[in-house]
Chain A
């Protein structure tokens, strides 16, 4: 395990419906010493965010049951979860989508076509350890 001690014990909720990405993300982040909770759709994501109170939510936008944007809105509307930083993972590079997510309170907006797993991990790490 190459994880930084700063990260050990920190818990990240990964809400991603693509099982491959979910597993790859989970493995990659776990290597950094993080504890990963996974959810495969928006509804599950919302439930786990409330139940588990993670330190960070990694959120795919295109998902069944509850679109990522709705989940984001729900998280930010609920005082219990509003403080959890949410990093959005999106397939869309449209400015409008990015603006919308940031306006809803997302802590960051990453486009899947333009980021590697390593860079995703770096972002997460910065968010959890940053000022």
Chain B
């Protein structure tokens, strides 16, 4: 009974820790705002250069619209030109928002936040935005990715029923669910250790360790950079708990490593860099486990 209570306590602590990390590690949407993806934005694949601007129209579903997020394509290079973002309600003559951005630190594959003062009565209104290049050229400008979840709108508090809307926006979005799931992996592993037979647990632990790595690499959500450290720690914890052998850990590293050329080839530099980070941690985990095994 005492052991059961301790295990329950550890399980709850792992859930709380996971939730805490999930809330603090998400960078696309903080606690005080709601992120809603827009699936109707289609953009041309070429860089935005003078005379060739990207335009879009969307309808705001809530009040306090404050950020338009667009998935940026850097074409695997540092672009040191500038871009103007402007926004207005459809039908208005003047642009209500006009901001200029330097492009040298735009991250490839992530949603870049084009922010402005919250628009109180945005709900139901149709807006148009435009991205214009100031001094770009074909080899020195960014573009916008087309496709799934390439655009999002962010609304900030206060708004009515904020908590419910926030909850709905999280549970209805596959990216958010995938993101959240990785933080509960240590708690799952902890429980499964007691529920499953040893061989089965070993397999499940291995799959779960791979799963959180894959989510980290392939889901293009902006994490806090230290989430990689959490994933490494969670993986090491999984290995230790399940008794996965050292060769397997290095094989996992190889599996990650050989994906890098493919990711670079397909131009997915965000995933390639995240995979490189995981490869680094795999090597670290591998040698730590090798030392542990040597001592045995």
Q: Do A and B come from one complex?
A: no
| Interface set of A (CB-CB < 8 Å, partner B) | none
Q: Which residues of B contact A (CB under 8 A)?
A: none
